[in-house]
Amino acid sequence: MSRPQQPPTQQPRTHLTRTDLAPLTRAALGPHRALAAVTRLRGGSKKGVYRLTLDDDSTAVAYVWSPDEDYWDAAPPDPRDPFSHGTGLGLFTAAHDRLAAAGVRTPALRYADATHTHLPADAAIVEDVRGDSLEEALRREPRSAAGTLERFADLLTALHAQQGPTFGKVALVDNGGVPTGSSCEGLVAGRALGDIAEIAAREPRAAAVRAELADAVRDLAAAVRPRDRYTLVHGELGPDHVLVTADGHPALIDIEGLMYFDVEWEHVFLRLRFGPHYDMLRTPGRTRDRTSGLDEDRLRLYRLAMHLSLVAGPLRLLDGDFPDPEFMRGIAEYNLGQALSLLPTAS
């Protein structure tokens, strides 16, 4: 894959210190608790995630939404667009409340501050789930993680049993808002065509088959029949976004993208990220016949669109100062290969 032009020199990002986070910690957990140490956790690209260690060795986690913590050069989020930049305290608290109402485990919210009283940014403090991610558990001991994977399948069943009156971000729909676009498949197809244009401008292999990629998206979209069932989905549910509690139960994190949408969008991502473990998660409903309930036409469209999104997004991050560019380059390279393999001429 060709490398993007080097970005102009940027000022180093400023991450928060114990002194910065002490006022927020006192407001959330009480003045009798002293903040002993702060550790910035790796992995996030849209918000800062900090483990707070208190003087009694208890811990909590701070989320901070600020420009210094967001590596995406994105326009302000449009709440009407399910795929707009999914970040911010409002999206987080709406998603947290919706998951709690559905009985889906996520770290408990202890404190939220949108007033910028304690930091010059929106912030929240949540329960610290200290276990591994499901990704780490499956990599290290797949047999012992099988029980957690079964419980995660149950969690998915509870999540996907929830329905909404229309598609869109939870923060919008649950407050009576109306999304842009007329259908899930229409939004996905339009976004995929935009991704093709963006990728083709950066990558010669995509530019050479730009018309074929666009035709494939249009043909797949034309095969999708209308439907008005909208399911609660996480939207980016890989095993790295599932923490394992001390008693082996899964808890969802990075929930700001929670929305009502086609369940097939979730399943395309689950299949991509869970690989050989996906068979246990294949359907709504806990039956051994795990092929029912999913629309194959939607799956075909969404599979190509997902791969295109996972090329365009990482390439965009590579224009900035994301701290692990080789990791992002690897994601873009893999998904470009997958997208090209789905063209009719590749079979």
Question: Structural domain boundaries of the chain?
Answer: 18-346
Reply yes or no on whether the pLDDT at 287 is more than 80: no
- The pTM for the full model equals 0.92
User: Which band of pLDDT confidence, cut at 50, 70 and 90, is reported for residue 220?
Assistant: very high
Degrees to nearest 5, angle at CA 291 with 287 and 293: 85
Reply yes or no on whether the pLDDT at 289 is more than 80: no
Residue 194: predicted pLDDT:
98
**Helix pair 146-160, 89-102: axis angle to 10 deg:** 100
Domain 18-346 top-level CATH class: alpha beta
Distance CA 273, CA 280 (A): 13
Reply yes or no on whether the pLDDT at 347 is more than 70: no
Answer yes or no: are the C-beta atoms of 301 and 224 closer than 8 Å: yes
174-188 pLDDT, tens digit each: 999 999 999 999 999
293-334 pLDDT, tens digit each: 899 999 999 999 999 999 999 999 898 888 889 999 999 999
Distance CA 47, CA 53 (A): 19
Q: By percentage, how much of the chain surpasses pLDDT 90?
A: 80
Residue 76: predicted pLDDT:
73
Range in 8-17, 30-39, 140-149, 217-226 the model is least confident about: 8-17
Please give the average per-residue pLDDT across 241-255, as a whole number.
Answer: 96
| Residue 80: how many other CB atoms lie within 10 Å | 14
DSSP assignment, residue 6?
P
Q: What stretch of H or E contains 163?
A: strand 163-164
Of 284, 260, 272, give the one whose Cα is nearest residue 308.
272
Burial of 148 (0-12, 13-18, 19+ CB in 10 A): buried
Of 290, 276, 279, 283, give the one whose Cα is nearest residue 138.
276
Query: DSSP states of 14-32 as a string?
Result: PPP-HHHHHHHHHHHH-TT
Residue 9: predicted pLDDT:
44
CA 224 to chain centre: 25
